[in-house]
Amino acid sequence: MLLVKNIAKIVGIDTQHRDRVFGRDMDNVTTLDNAWLAVEDGKIAAFGETDTMPDESGFQRVVDAEGGMLYPSFCDSHTHIVYAGSREQEFLDKIHGLSYEEIARRGGGILNSADRLHETGEDALYEQAMQRVREVALMGTGAIEIKSGYGLTTEDELKMLRVIRRIKESVPLEVRATFLGAHAVPRNYIGRDDEYVDLICREMLPAVADEGLADYVDVFCDRGFFTIEQTRRIMREACKYGLPAKIHANELDFSGGVQLGVAEGALSVDHLERSGSAEIEALKGSLTMPTMLPGAAFFLGMSYPPAREMIASGLAVALASDYNPGSSPSGNMRMVMSLASIRMKMTPNEALTAATLNGAYAMGESDKLGSISVGKVANFFITKPMPSPEFFVYAYCTPLIARVFLRGEEYS
């Protein structure tokens, strides 16, 4: 049993056990001042105001929050954190004027990462990814979805997914794995992309399902990558193996990916830089979580998704980092929240809801994660003393996360 005392404010409480929060409610973040929180068996057991605090002697461990605030850990529902090496050469190419798509057409981008991944052994890949996982855990992330998609052959996709499984087994974060064989058409299939989709459906998906390596399937459904028809086919095939979809949609064009995702029951549609009223209408009343990745829009200098319009339309929205070597080489969810506030005019409260409970929904975990609620996994962090929760998003470069707890144990 663990007791955290001297908490200036618990931020992000949900006593209603909602699976996600919609529209204007996203701005109503429940807080509790001068509080304590108790953990038992890795779960949040109770919390309350200081005058109701149980006797310290009943606890094995007492942690003094020293007047900091306590937040639920971030749920980062979209990352590509398993990759080999880095792509700063393309960063230079972008500085010199090439676009993401131009780099991809020259054989760079995802194919560049696929070449490096092919040359890298499973152990080295695991070590590189674990460094990033440790980095994001200390920055407040307590749940993370990780995609394959730099393999692009059956063998290398399985290699990536086995690395994700190893991560899942070795860290206290909650990890979800997504099979993204349809991330790009590999070089030997260029001009024969339907044959590559055949390979995904006939060989890769059965192999992935056979080893139980994935929780979800994903497709990069966008201009120059995979079409609506190809995406639908992969989603339906994955459905036979019980794998719900999380779709990369509308990053480069009004691809129809959002409408398809909703129609086919995708758990989330992600990116959405190219979205308007048709996409918003499609999402209304659906089970699909629109997920925005402002780190990618920032890094690639793209326009940002219409967050205000989505929220005004009553949609629940999520925020994720998209941590990957090509379009978002950072998994800092605080920075993602700040970008959401600065560039998409989301309030700090809306950004927090999007990065926690709604992110948990987008990884199918909102019954266990994403808020301070009795019975949920005790994944939270304590900040240094701050004047207000808004300060956490405003002072975007100040290190403010003091201590991290995952499954009720301190992570350092």
Residue 169 to residues 172, 262, 405, Cα–Cα distance (Å): 8, 32, 18
Side chain identity at residue 65, one-letter code = A
**By the rule CB under 5 A, 218 interacts with Fe ion:** no
How many chain residues bind Fe ion (CB under 5 A)?
1
**By the rule CB under 6 A, 156 interacts with ligand NIG:** no
Residue 313 to residues 25, 248, 347, 355, 383, Cα–Cα distance (Å): 12, 22, 16, 19, 33
Rg for the chain (alpha carbons), in Å? 21
- Nearest distance from residue 225's CB to ligand NIG, in Å? 7
Q: Which is nearer to ligand NIG, 273 or 365 (CB)?
A: 273
Q: Report which residue's Cβ sits closest to ligand NIG.
A: 326
How many chain residues bind ligand NIG (CB under 6 A)?
13
The angle, 0 to 180 degrees and rounded to 10, between the axes of the packed helices 154-170 and 122-138 is 40
| The CA-based dihedral angle spanning residues 168, 211, 219, 172, taken in that order and rounded to the nearest 10 degrees | -10
Q: Which residue in 79, 113, 255, 332 binds ligand NIG (CB under 6 A)?
A: 113
Q: Which of residues 122-151 bind ligand NIG (CB under 6 A)?
A: none
Q: Which of residues 307-366 bind Fe ion (CB under 5 A)?
A: 322
Q: Which residue in 140, 186, 305, 325 binds ligand NIG (CB under 6 A)?
A: 325
Contacts with ligand NIG, 196-225, as mask; x by CB under 6 A: ------------------------x-----
- Nearest distance from residue 150's CB to Fe ion, in Å? 11
Q: Which is nearer to ligand NIG, 2 or 110 (CB)?
A: 110
Q: Choose among Fe ion, ligand NIG, none what residue 325 binds, the Cβ cut-off being 5 to 8 Å by kind.
A: ligand NIG
Q: For residue 364, report the phi and psi dihedrals to the nearest 5 degrees.
A: 65, 30
Q: Which is nearer to ligand NIG, 13 or 335 (CB)?
A: 335
**By the rule CB under 6 A, 323 interacts with ligand NIG:** no
**By the rule CB under 6 A, 45 interacts with ligand NIG:** no
Q: For residue 354, report the phi and psi dihedrals to the nearest 5 degrees.
A: -70, -30
**By the rule CB under 6 A, 109 interacts with ligand NIG:** yes
Q: Report which residue's Cβ sits closest to Fe ion.
A: 322
Q: Which is nearer to Fe ion, 222 or 237 (CB)?
A: 222
What does the binding site for Fe ion look like in residue numbers (CB under 5 A)? Answer: 322
What does the binding site for ligand NIG look like in residue numbers (CB under 6 A)? Answer: 80, 109-110, 113, 220, 248, 251, 296, 322, 324-327
